[in-house]
Structure 1
Amino acid sequence: MKEFWDKRFSAEEYVYGEEPNEYLRSRLLELYPGEIMFAAEGEGRNAVYAAQESWKVTAFDQSREGKKKAMKLAEKNKVEIDYRVGDLPDLGYDKDEVDVIALIYAHFSPELRADYHKLLLSYLRRDGLVIFEGFSKKHPVYQKQNPQVGGPKDEALLFSMEEIKKDFGELNFLELYEAEVDLDEGEFHKGQGSVIRFVAQKK
């Protein structure tokens, strides 16, 4: 997948746009800025937005091309972000490091997903929040109608409510729902899709 994302992110334009995810934006506006981590952050649109809103930002991805774009966007917007490239267990994060973890279309491979989610939660401080938006297992119906809406083509990479509750069951869900949404995020997230969203707090 690293080669896939390097190729996609090597385009001159920001393939998912330069504006943050709308759900993430709405939830961050409700919070006092602290330290936030962005998983599978790609070209940096969400991380840069958070930095503009006075958050101390760390982010990671497999793609070096994604980091290049993210750092370029950060420079354009005159903010700083800590962006690391590699596999999550090797990135040097510490337990209880951040106040918020943002999982915005962070579709990890099925064999890694549960372990990665568990590891991510170890980086979250007590009372910290997870903000999540990802494509649901209902999404392929929308992909068939409109391939431009994007999302993983492998259904195993998509989320079900049961998987979310299992992986994040130690958290207190403040909201959790599945919804049809209209996406307008660059070239590859455009049109109606099915997502799961949640905000949950570490006990």
Structure 2
Amino acid sequence: MENTKGSPWDVRYEREDYVFGKEPNVYFKEKISTLNPGKILVPAAGEGRDAVYAAMLGWDVHAFDLSVVGKEKAFKLAREMKVEMVFDILNISDFTYPENTYNAVAMTYFHLSPLLRKIVYANIYKVLKPGGVLIIEAFNPEQLKNNSGGPKDETLLISKQILEQELQGLRAIECFEKDIELSEGGGHVGKASVVRYFGVR
């Protein structure tokens, strides 16, 4: 993949402030703060808020995203917080899933087509070390009734049932749907219908 600007996300991130803010996702923060630092994978890392927060806690962070602008802003945030991380420009379909590598994987609002999602979820088991955890927060189908962000295509939204079916290789500690009030920059604001998942290999 060429390292050139051109992703639709580049257009969205091409602004001075951070679209989803600089603070980590609330559920991600809650869960990652309870774990001993190790190596974490953050796909679709965007402008880096979750990846940088993990690095601040001492995690060895490998993040990736399609957006060159997102990467630039992620490193700007990392410099502000005086942390380091690896951040690649990469499409999830090009990721090679190194086996038994990560102590945690974090997917915050990472919405994929059903076919690609199944492939990704099937491979997440491989990259986690035994005892490694997966943290997910995503919009569920009820989000179509709200105006706080997320895809307008129902096939891209994720239900509790989908996670239970497609992550059977992991042991779910938590898997539930919930209505919350989002306040993440200007990108996610207001009532939201989400699904949250915390599972272990």
TM-score by length of 1: 0.92
In the TM superposition, what whole-angstrom CA distance separates every residue of 1:23-44 from its partner, at most 9, and x where no partner exists?
A: 1111111111111111111000
State the alpha-carbon separation in 2 of the partners of residues 195 and 150 from structure 1.
Answer: 11
1:85–1:91 contact (8 Å) kept in structure 2:
no
State the alpha-carbon separation in 2 of the partners of residues 22 and 52 from structure 1.
Answer: 15
The 5 Å alignment of 1:45-124 reads 45-124=49-128
CA RMSD in angstroms, aligned pairs only: 1.3
State the alpha-carbon separation in 2 of the partners of residues 118 and 85 from structure 1.
Answer: 22
1:60–1:85 contact (8 Å) kept in structure 2:
yes
Residue 91 of structure 1 and its aligned partner are, at CA, apart by: 4.1
1:38–1:102 contact (8 Å) kept in structure 2:
yes
**1:146 matched residue in structure 2:** none
Letter in 1 for 2:150: G
State the alpha-carbon separation in 2 of the partners of residues 9 and 119 from structure 1.
Answer: 29
**1:195 matched residue in structure 2:** 194
In the TM superposition, what whole-angstrom CA distance separates every residue of 1:136-155 from its partner, at most 9, and x where no partner exists?
A: 01111122xxxxx1111111
Paired residues, what number?
A: 196
State the alpha-carbon separation in 2 of the partners of residues 105 and 43 from structure 1.
Answer: 13
1:100–1:11 Cα change, 3 Å: same
**2:3 matched residue in structure 1:** none
**1:140 matched residue in structure 2:** 144
Residue 93 of structure 1 and its aligned partner are, at CA, apart by: 4.8
Letter in 2 for 1:22: V
State the alpha-carbon separation in 2 of the partners of residues 37 and 113 from structure 1.
Answer: 16
State the alpha-carbon separation in 1 of the partners of residues 160 and 99 from structure 2.
Answer: 27
Residue 89 of structure 1 and its aligned partner are, at CA, apart by: 4.6
Quick one: percent identity of the two aligned structures?
A: 38
SS at match of 1:138: helix
State the alpha-carbon separation in 2 of the partners of residues 56 and 35 from structure 1.
Answer: 5
SS at match of 2:16: coil
